[in-house]
Amino acid sequence: MRPIMEVAEELGFDRDSVIPYGRYKAKIDLSAIRPNGKQGKMVVITGMTPTPAGEGKTTTAVGLTQAMGKLGKKVVATLREPSLGPIFGIKGGGTGGGKALVEPNDEVNIHFTGDAHAVGSAHNLLAALTDNVAQRGRIPGFHPEGIAWRRVTDVEDRALRTIVTGIGGANNAPVRETGFDIVTASEIMAILALARDLADLRERLSRVVVGYAGDEPVTADDVKAVGSMMSLLRYAIQPNIVQTTEGQPVIVHAGPFGNIAHGCSSVVGDRLALGYADYVLTEAGFGADLGFEKFMHIKARFNGLEPSAAVLVASVRAVKYHGGVRPRDLDTPDLEAARKGVANLTHLVGVIKSFGLPVVVALNHFPTDTPEETAIVKQAAEEAGAHSAVEIRVFEEGGDGAIELGQSVIDATNGDDPEITYAYEMDSPIREKVSALARLVYNADNVRWALPARRLLRQFEARGWGVLPVCMAKTHLSISHRAALKGRPSDYTFEVSDVRASVGAGFIYPIAGSMMTMPGLPGSPRELDVDEDGAILGL
Whether 22 and 242 have beta carbons less than 8 Å apart is answered as no
CATH number of the structural domain spanning residue 499: 3.10.410.10
| pLDDT at 37 exceeding the cut of 90 | no
Question: Which residues, 6 or more positions from 529, have their beta carbon under 8 angstroms from its beta carbon?
Answer: 536, 537, 538
* Mean per-residue pLDDT over the chain, rounded: 95
| pLDDT at 420 exceeding the cut of 90 | yes
Average pLDDT score over residue span 124-147: 96
For residues 354 and 421, what is the distance between their CA atoms, to the nearest angstrom?
7
Helix, coil or strand: residue 228: helix
Helix, coil or strand: residue 392: strand
State the DSSP string of 295-349. Answer: IIIIIITTTT---SEEEEEE-HHHHHHHTT--GGGTTS--HHHHHHHHHHHHHHH
Query: Is 254 found in the same domain as 202?
Result: no
The closest of 20, 64, 52, 32 to 393, measured between CA atoms, is 64
DSSP for residue 418: P
Query: Is 276 found in the same domain as 382?
Result: yes
Phi, psi of 135 (to 5 degrees): -65, -40
Query: Is 286 found in the same domain as 275?
Result: yes
For residue 90, what pLDDT band results from cuts at 50, 70 and 90? low
For residue 494, what pLDDT band results from cuts at 50, 70 and 90? very high
The closest of 78, 40, 44 to 362, measured between CA atoms, is 44
Query: Is 146 found in the same domain as 199?
Result: yes
What is the number of other CB atoms lying within 10 angstroms of the CB of residue 379?
12
Query: Is 342 found in the same domain as 267?
Result: yes
Query: Is 174 found in the same domain as 121?
Result: yes
Q: What per-residue confidence (pLDDT) applies to 539?
A: 78
CATH number of the structural domain spanning residue 378: 3.40.50.300
For residues 176 and 400, what is the distance between their CA atoms, to the nearest angstrom?
57
Q: Is residue 400 part of a domain?
A: yes
pTM: 0.95
For residues 110 and 536, what is the distance between their CA atoms, to the nearest angstrom?
10
Query: Is 301 found in the same domain as 248?
Result: yes
Identify the burial level of 209 via C-beta atoms within 10 angstroms of its C-beta, where 0-12 means exposed, 13-18 middle and 19 or more buried.
buried
Query: Is 110 found in the same domain as 12?
Result: yes
For residues 234 and 229, what is the distance between their CA atoms, to the nearest angstrom?
9
Q: Is residue 335 part of a domain?
A: yes
Q: Is residue 530 part of a domain?
A: no
Query: Is 219 found in the same domain as 277?
Result: no
Query: Is 139 found in the same domain as 46?
Result: no
Q: What per-residue confidence (pLDDT) applies to 518?
A: 83
| pLDDT at 36 exceeding the cut of 90 | no
Write out pLDDT tens, residues 145-171. 999 999 999 999 999 999 999 999 888
Whether 195 and 205 have beta carbons less than 8 Å apart is answered as no
Q: What per-residue confidence (pLDDT) applies to 183?
A: 95
Q: Is residue 525 part of a domain?
A: no
Question: How many domains does the chain divide into?
Answer: 3
| pLDDT at 91 exceeding the cut of 70 | no
Phi, psi of 316 (to 5 degrees): -60, -40
Domain coverage including residue 487: 430-512
Q: Mark which of 192, 210, 233 sits at the end of a domain.
A: 233
Query: Is 290 found in the same domain as 366?
Result: yes
Q: Lowest-confidence range among 179-193, 392-406, 505-519?
A: 505-519
Q: What per-residue confidence (pLDDT) applies to 92?
A: 64
Write out pLDDT tens, residues 505-526. 999 999 998 878 888 888 888 8
Q: Is residue 539 part of a domain?
A: no
Rounded to the nearest 10 degrees, how much is the dihedral formed by the CA atoms of 293, 295, 298, 303?
Answer: -140
Query: Is 347 found in the same domain as 328?
Result: yes
